Amino acid sequence: MSDSVTIIDNRTGKQIECPVLTGKYGAPVIDTSRLYKELGVFTLDPGFGTTASCKSAITYLDGDEGILLHRGYPIEQLAEKSTYTELCYLLLNGELPDQNQMADFEHDLKMHSMTHEHLSRFYNGYRYDAHPMSIMSGVFAAIASYYHDATDIRNPEHRLMTAKRVIGKIPNVAAKCYRHASGLPFVYPDNSRDYVENFMYMMFSWPSEEYKPSPVALRALDLLFILHADHEQNASTSTVRLAASAEANPFACVAAGICTLWGKAHGGANEAVINMLTEIERPENIPKYIARAKDKDDPFRLMGFGHRVYKNYDPRARIIQQAVYDLMDEMNLNQPMFEIAMELEKIALNDEYFIERKLYPNVDFYSGLIYQALRIPTEMFTVMFAMARSAGWIAQWMELMEDPDFRIGRPRQLYTGQEKRDYVQIKDR
């Protein structure tokens, strides 16, 4: 007999056998899909912290052990040996490409790097100081109107084409968000450059000058994209899947993910880290802020420490921490801010308060330092995150479209409102 959990309703004496499903890794999952039909009850799990919303073969993370795998490959190996575009191929297809497959994939991304010229007018509808995440979400929703064939979600070729369009176009959109805010002319993609270099070219080049980005900067940005590409069923990914379950246009699904990522508790954390380091101002001020973080009556908290899932050191943080050290001189990192960050990390990692609560530095603690070194404005940090995460979002979308258990998402609730009552005319109230 397969493993199961018996749930007994003590009110009625009824019981139900719920199968226990075991994945490749991770905690077993209790299948409660028959719970309402058999016992007439639902489960309550605020924040879905103990609920598996889907089956997925894309990404696995173990928060207790600090493990992150993409299609079975450890993030440490991918960060050291792979590239972002190769990781995109891996997320979409499940296997690493050979040389011909990689060349074809990168060619296809370049062929889809342009956006419709009419779309360039869309940016002018935003104020010069509009947050770039607002612009990005609006533009991506607008792209849906140009690709009606993307709604044919049952066609595998259309799904793959849509994935390439999303990954290929998002650097163009992200760069235009920056250029619009800066009052600079838009720059068309240059297909002689690879993915990351092309993005930097669209961001920072001038029409009157040749643009040659630093190889060190390109590798640093590629590394950040790898580390942010996918992270299992987080808030924005779950939003993309939920929107997709309604068979929404995939570009609209990505726009929904962008809006969710914009939240300061999700993708906005690296921006909050830089703001915190700026507020601390000098290393000698750190003890005061450490004390404030410990004070439960003080709303201040240290940004970039701790994680909803990782209860060990975030493996991405270890990778990017070393990159920050290695690139500090070559990338002209903000020296005072870097010193504050390193001293803050040192104190926090040796303080019992943070050790007991497992508040280790996460990837957001370091990524902002590198973005800042690349001259990327703070308000663009979350845009960079969205650009990288688009690969994971669209891979998750493709997986859902192929799921034999596909159905529209419909969470339940515990109603705590008024009992049924009769309407009273306004003159009688």
Kindly tell me the sign of the dihedral angle through the C-alpha atoms of 253, 258, 264, 270: positive
Helix (H) or strand (E) holding 204: helix 195-204
Return the number of other C-beta atoms located less than 10 Å from residue 250's C-beta: 29
Return the number of other C-beta atoms located less than 10 Å from residue 212's C-beta: 10
Distance separating the N- and C-terminal Cα atoms of the chain = 63
- In the structure encoding, which two tokens stand for residue 148, read together? 């009606």
- In the structure encoding, which two tokens stand for residue 288, read together? 């005061």
Q: Which amino acid is at 5?
A: V
Cα dihedral 174, 178, 179, 183, rounded to 10, equals 150
Residue 113: burial class (beta carbons within 10 Å; 0-12, 13-18, 19+): buried
The CA-atom distances, in angstroms, between 138 and each of 257, 326, 387 are 12, 37, 14
The residues annotated with a catalytic role in the active site are 307, 364
Closest to 302 in 3D by CA, of 345, 337, 338: 345
Q: Evaluate whether 70 touches 92 at the Cβ level (below 8 Å).
A: no
Q: 3-class DSSP state for residue 207?
A: coil
Residue 378: burial class (beta carbons within 10 Å; 0-12, 13-18, 19+): middle
Rounded to whole angstroms, the Cα distance separating 368 from 344 reads 15
Closest to 24 in 3D by CA, of 51, 48, 50, 60: 60
Rounded to whole angstroms, the Cα distance separating 22 from 24 reads 7
Cα dihedral 252, 116, 146, 394, rounded to 10, equals -40
What stretches of 94-155 show up as alpha helix (H) in DSSP? 99-111, 132-143
Q: For tokens 């799921």, name the residue.
A: 403
Closest to 116 in 3D by CA, of 150, 151, 140: 140
Rounded to whole angstroms, the Cα distance separating 254 from 335 reads 36
